[in-house]
Amino acid sequence: MERFAGLLEQLPRQQGEMLRALHLAQEELGWISRDAIRLIARHLRVSEAQVYGPATFYAEFRHSPPPKTLVTWCSGPSCRVVGGDRVRRIFEAEFGCRLGENTEDDELGLWLGQCNGTCERAPMVWVNGRVVGPLTMLETVKLARRLKDGEDPIAWPRRPIKIAPATFVAAEQVYGAEHGSGHGSGASSEGTGQ
């Protein structure tokens, strides 16, 4: 808290610094506490309500401490059309909490995330900010259980995306038959698919 107060002092005392101040609080403290709101209000010379307003309007600002391991479920449509909603139901069942909640002990949390455009990984989740996907439903169950067991999420290899069968213009057409066999994505699909 002292560190945050010190950093806050360095921001200009302007209304326009509000979001920056709130981001700073969240980065330093993990969430926007009542004390943080009071400090920001005092620093920017506005009422606490004027801080509380934006702090609750923007979805990124949290009003309770974050869980130790946070699963952010991508709510985007690209995920949804390939089974994203099932991923949510699996996490809810495995964690025993609803979307937007933490488990009782604050070890795990399942929160809603907005699409950041890594749609080729759909359906996906972020585990402590790292993209994990594309997920099959079995992988989702396994992921949820490993998280419950407290395993390090970063250590798991992610599945490469399935490569489309050879639809690339055949290399023969470009270079003649003698070069045709060894390259082009026809070969690459054999080599790295799944």
Q: Report 87-146 residues binding other proteins (CB under 8 A).
A: 89-90, 92-94, 113-122, 124, 130-131, 133, 136-138, 140-142, 144
Asked if residue 142 lies in contact with residue 135, where contact means CB atoms within 8 angstroms, the answer is no
- Which are the contacts of 11, defined by CB distance < 8 A and separation ≥ 6? 17, 20, 21, 24, 43
Binding test (CB under 8 A) with other proteins, winner from 28, 29, 54, 68 = 54
Q: Would you count residue 70 as binding other proteins (CB under 8 A)?
A: no
State the binding string over 145-164 for other proteins (x if CB under 8 A, else -): ------------xx-xxxxx
Looking at 1-9, 63-71, 83-91, 97-105, which segment touches other proteins (CB under 8 A)? 83-91
> Is 12 one of the binding residues for other proteins (CB under 8 A)?
no
Give me the least distance between CB of 6 and other proteins, in Å please.
20
Say which residue the tokens 């101040």 belong to.
21
Q: Which of 6, 9, 19, 100 binds other proteins (CB under 8 A)?
A: 19
Among 29, 82, 97, 99, binds other proteins (CB under 8 A): 82
Rounded to a whole number of angstroms, the minimum distance from the CB of residue 65 to other proteins is 18
